[in-house]
Amino acid sequence: MKKLFNYLVKYPIEGLITLFIFAFFRILPLNFASDIGSSLARFIGPRLSVNNIIKKNLKLAFPYKEDDWYNEVANNTWDNFGRVTAEYSHFAKLSKKNNRRINLIDNDFSRDFFNSEERHILVSSHNANWEVMGITCRKNSDRVSGIVRQPNNPFTKKIINNLRDKYSVKCYEKNMIGTKKIIQDFKSGNSLALLSDLRLTTGVDSNFFNLNSKTTSLPAQLGLKYKCKIYLAWVSREEKSTFNVEFYSPLNMNDFENNDESIQLVTNKINQFFENKQIDTGKIYEKIDFNRVFEGLLEAIETSKLGSMLSIIGGREALMPIKDPVINKLKEIIKDKLDGTFNNDDNSIAKDVKIGIEKALNSKLDELDPQGIKIIIENMIRKHLGWLIVWGGVFGGLFGLLFSLIQNVI
């Protein structure tokens, strides 16, 4: 009964609404349509029950964040969804050869993928406008096929497929029939493009943001069987409806044996790449207040057993000369830790960042026991107050000689 209701009532109404929305956005300039889509989605989205699912998933992936952060990311998700919806109506503009809204970053990897006679596998994910990857591939090659998850609604499916047929790569549906067809295309020499972060009930169990997630093993299976490169690509939204598309160093399947262990390893590497891309290490680094860290260091010294010694040489002002060297060293340590962590293929990002930074800071704090602080202060005295010791000795000797002479005269 429910299925009959969907086909006779629900799906036709949703299809008409989709047609109306696309027609409305099409009469607007692209950037304005994108802004309107963003505003509508940010207003409606948080009021839908699916918004709770978004925040629930964010809490599973980032359990250490605060509520304001979950709300902000959820709102940004709706912002992007609204822009993508509006941009469907402007595929014709985005697909033009001389269009500057899609910037394919020219590097060895993109050139090899599009210009090589060999077939390759391209893996991307659902970020920014994921349809931009298909448009980019079609603009640069006629030898790329894609596999996609189609909407459940047959009317919406037809509307979107009409757009993809005109402006994107040849797309096959993510099911048994579609998989067989795209493998046939692949065997005939076409490259394969797909998005890896689909919700699946089957596939390889792979860690993704600390969660055991079912992930498609198709890229790994085909890559290992036919010994072709697996390219990883990323679409980023720069401003409104302008995008960068960047290809990264491929996974070379000649480095792996064709077995279940390698399928698992390659799938893990793909997941790890997209997990890493979701986290901007630069923003983490910029948000660290190193001046506050140094202030905390001074407070620790003042409240330690060496606080009285510090007051003898002029209090916290006497330690100001070492502020810049200490901060620079902390910056160097934390930056190295962040960069190293986010290039790690074996461990979870969130866990590694937390452990890595804790170890870095703890190692430095361990050096700040009373003996360590004493050494720091002694070094500082020798470096910055050495002249006082030298001249103090000289004048002390002169005064001693003077008093001795005076006593002899008396």
pLDDT at 394: 44
Q: How far apart are CA 334 and CA 342, in angstroms?
A: 12
The more confident residue out of 397 and 230 is 230
pLDDT at 296: 77
Please determine, for residue 366, whether its predicted confidence score (pLDDT) is greater than 90. no
Span 2-7, mean pLDDT? 83
Contact call for residues 190 and 119 (beta carbons, < 8 A): yes
Residue 84 has, within 13 A of its CA and on its CB side, a CA count of 18
Percentage of the chain beyond pLDDT 90 is 48
Please determine, for residue 39, whether its predicted confidence score (pLDDT) is greater than 90. yes
pLDDT at 362: 55
The more confident residue out of 123 and 394 is 123
For 136, counting Cβ atoms within 10 Å of its Cβ (0-12 exposed, 13-18 middle, 19+ buried), the class is: buried
**pLDDT range class, residue 372, cuts 50, 70, 90:** low
For 248, counting Cβ atoms within 10 Å of its Cβ (0-12 exposed, 13-18 middle, 19+ buried), the class is: middle
| Model confidence pLDDT, tens digit, residues 60-87 | 888 888 899 999 999 999 999 999 999 9
The more confident residue out of 43 and 279 is 43
pLDDT at 347: 44
Mean pLDDT of the chain: 81
pTM of the entire structure?
Answer: 0.70
Instruction: Return the number of other C-beta atoms located less than 10 Å from residue 364's C-beta.
Output: 17
Span 329-339, mean pLDDT? 65
Contact call for residues 107 and 244 (beta carbons, < 8 A): no
pLDDT at 263: 93
pLDDT at 202: 73
| Model confidence pLDDT, tens digit, residues 241-278 | 999 999 999 999 998 999 999 999 999 999 989 888 87
